[in-house]
Amino acid sequence: MALAQTTPTANTATTTPTTPTTPDGNGWHRHHDSVLTADERAQLEKARQQVFASDPALKTEQEGLFQQFKALRSQGSTATDADKTALKGQFKAYETKMRAAELAVDSTLAPIFAKLDAAHQNGRHSQ
């Protein structure tokens, strides 16, 4: 499933892990380690925390999506493709909302998002 975490690549050894963004510390954005510099990760995390402080509902939504992901993952092979696709759509909608909110807080994040998008397109990590 595309929502699963990726296995670290060789180039992650020279980076510092990001602060987990999920309640249980698994982190959804671990793939940032292989693409972004430490300063870029810190800038992105600062904006994310500012967004959460100004709109706690986004943090609640993120936690709810993560719980849904854990529940779906716990179903193993009994989870339907339709359920997986629906949750993936919800994640993408949330990510779009978060990106807009983060850009509203810090417009200089645009090149960082472009870098992440390019990495997705080039297969450096899964979506």
pLDDT digits 0-9 by tens, 109-127: 999 999 998 888 877 554 3
| Cβ(89)–Cβ(71) below 8 Å | no
Chain segment 42-85, per-residue pLDDT in tens: 999 999 999 999 999 999 999 999 999 999 999 988 989 999 99
The tokens describing 114, both together, are: 């472009």
- Residue whose token pair is 């990106």: 99
pTM over 0.85: no
Q: Would you state the pLDDT for residue 25?
A: 42
d(CA 89, CA 39): 30
Q: Kindly report the backbone phi and psi dihedral angles of residue 84, in degrees, each rounded to the nearest multiple of 5, phi listed first.
A: -65, -45
- Residue whose token pair is 């670290």: 8
